[in-house]
Amino acid sequence: MISSPPPPEAGLRGAVVGNTTLSSINGDEGKLIYRGLDIHDLARKSTFEEICYLLWFGALPTRAHLDELRAKLAQRRSLPKQLVTLLRDLPPTAAPIDVLRTAVSAMGLFDKHVNDTSRDASLEKAITLTATFPTILAAYHNLSRGEALVEPRRDLDTAANFLYMFFGKDPDRDAARVLDVALILHADHGMNASTFSAIVTAATLSDMYSAITSAVGTLKGPLHGGANEGVIKNLLEIQSPDGVEAWVQDRLSKHEKIMGFGHAVYKAYDPRATELKAIAKDAGQRAGNTKWVDLTERMEQAVWKQKQLYPNVDLYSASVYYTLGFPTEYFTPIFAVSRVAGWCAHVLEQYADNKLIRPRANYVGPRGIEYVPVQARTSDVVLPNAEPAAS
Ligand code: COA
Q: Which of 101-115, 124-138, 148-162, 224-238 has the lowest mean pLDDT?
A: 224-238
Asked if 331 and 317 count as a contact pair (C-beta separation under 8 A), the reply is yes
Taking the CB of residue 199, how many other CB atoms lie within 10 A of it?
23
Residue 180: what pLDDT? 98
- What is the per-residue pLDDT across 256-303, written as a single tens digit (0 to 9) for each? 999 999 999 999 999 999 999 999 999 999 989 899 999 999 999 999
Mean of pLDDT values over 56-67: 98
Give distance in angstroms: CA of 338 to centre of ligand 1. 24
Q: What is the pLDDT of residue 205?
A: 98
Q: Which domains does the chain have, with CATH numbers?
A: 18-220+333-352 (1.10.580.10), 227-323 (1.10.230.10)
Angle at 181 between CA 233 and CA 17, to 5 degrees: 80
CA dihedral 79, 228, 189, 204 (to 10 degrees): -50
Atom 39 in ligand 1: which residue has the minimum CA distance? Answer: 223
Residue bearing the bigger pLDDT, 289 or 99: 99
37, β-bridge pairs: 34
- Ligand 1 mutation pick, 257, 313, 314, max ligand atoms within 8 A of CB: 257
The CA–CA distances, whole Å, from 131 to 70, 138, 153, 204, 234 equal 10, 12, 12, 25, 32
Using one digit for the tens of pLDDT, what is the confidence trace for 134-162? 999 999 999 999 999 999 999 999 999 99
Q: Pick the catalytic residue: 141, 186, 189, 263?
A: 263
Q: Which residues line ligand 1 (CB under 6 A)?
A: 11, 223, 227, 257-264, 307, 309, 312-314
Put simply, whether the predicted model's pTM sits higher than 0.75 gets the answer yes
What distances in angstroms separate CA 337 from CA 250, 330, 354, one per listed residue? 34, 10, 26
| pLDDT above 90: percentage of residues in the chain | 90
